[in-house]
Amino acid sequence: MNGKINLVLGAIAIAFLALAALFMSNVWGRTRPLMLIPLVDAKFIDPSPSRVSIAEFIRKGGDASDYDCDVCHEKNKPIKLKFDADDNIILPTEHTNIFLQHGSHKRNNNCYNCHDEMNLSMFQTRDGKPLKVTDPDVPRLCGSCHGPTYRDWEAGVHGRTSGFWDRQLGDYQRLGCPSCHNPHSPKFPSRAPAPGPHALHPVLHAPDKTETEGSN
């Protein structure tokens, strides 16, 4: 009887020891080191706007001599615009750095829609009030065509607002149109996305378009 008990106890002890050995050697690979996730590039957490408007450029002390139209152009002597056979505008060689695609309609790609042909350092707004090319109040010009967007922008709903939502506690900044849109080709440019979530395991169930079609 005693011998039997000793045998059972011995067996249990050996079983425990064996389990301990298995745990130690990590047969199941439970604590495998995770894939090292690199830190995200600092540009993806930078809140500065996507482009610098001329007004902002001048405010920060940039050299705006390139934007002095009167160096080459004379006042009250409008330059005639040239168009090709397809009615697309031909930019003069001095301005080939401009990529003009203000909307898809050809009629929109016309310098004098915004620039005053009689005085090129000024804009022509639809309400006829003068506006300098370097004026920070340029949304007034854009708004003379883009009414609903201008209305939203004034309400703080279109475009970027930063700072304080509680206007009693602090200031807020609302960016003007050219801080995000290039006036000559205003479509918001595409960009490389920041890295997505790092899966610890391979993605097994990527959404399958063909399969979900029937479930609607």
Partner 1 sequence: MLENQKCKPGGCGGGGNSGMNRRNFLRTSGVLATGIAALAAALSPLRELTDQGSWEQFFQKHYKELSKDDMDKVLARITREVEAQYQIRPHVKDYKPMDGVEFVYCLNLTRCIGCRKCVHACVAENNQSRDPEIQYIRVLKMPHGSFDMEKGDHNYAPESVPEKGFFYMPVQCQHCKNPPCVKVCPTKATWQEPDGITVVDYDWCIGCRYCEAACPYFARRFNWTTPKIPKERLNPNMSYLGNRPRKQGVMEKCHFCIQRTRAGKYPACLEVCPAGARKFGNILDPESEVSYILKNKRVFIQLKEEVGTSPRFFYYFDV
Give the whole-angstrom CA distance, residue 91 versus residue 32.
Answer: 62
Of these, 3, 29, 61, 197, which contacts partner 1 (CB under 8 A)? 197
60 versus 191: smaller Cβ distance to partner 1:
191
Cα distances from 33 to residues 26, 200, 203, in angstroms, run 12, 10, 19
Q: Which amino acid is at 136?
A: P
Residue whose pair of structure tokens reads 């050299």 in the numeric block: 63
For residue 46, give every residue at least 6 positions away whose Cβ sits within 8 Å of its Cβ, in sequence order, or none: none
Query: Is there binding between residue 214 and partner 1 (CB under 8 A)?
Result: no
Query: Is there binding between residue 157 and partner 1 (CB under 8 A)?
Result: yes
Q: Which stretch binds partner 1 (CB under 8 A): 8-16, 112-120, 128-136, 184-192?
A: 184-192
Nearest to 201 by CA among 69, 67, 35, 24: 35
Give the whole-angstrom CA distance, residue 47 versus residue 163.
Answer: 11
51 versus 132: smaller Cβ distance to partner 1:
51
Residue whose pair of structure tokens reads 């929109």 in the numeric block: 108
Binding mask 110-149 for partner 1 (x = CB under 8 A): --------------------------------------x-
Query: Is there binding between residue 162 and partner 1 (CB under 8 A)?
Result: yes
CB of 185 to partner 1, least distance (A): 16
Strand-pair category, 82-83 with 89-90: antiparallel
Q: Which stretch binds partner 1 (CB under 8 A): 3-11, 38-46, 105-113, 123-131?
A: 38-46
Is 108 in contact with 100 (CB distance < 8 Å)? no
Using CB under 8 A, list all residues that contact partner 1: 34, 36-37, 39-40, 44-47, 49-50, 148, 152, 155-166, 168-170, 175, 180, 188, 190-200, 203, 206-207, 209, 212, 215-216
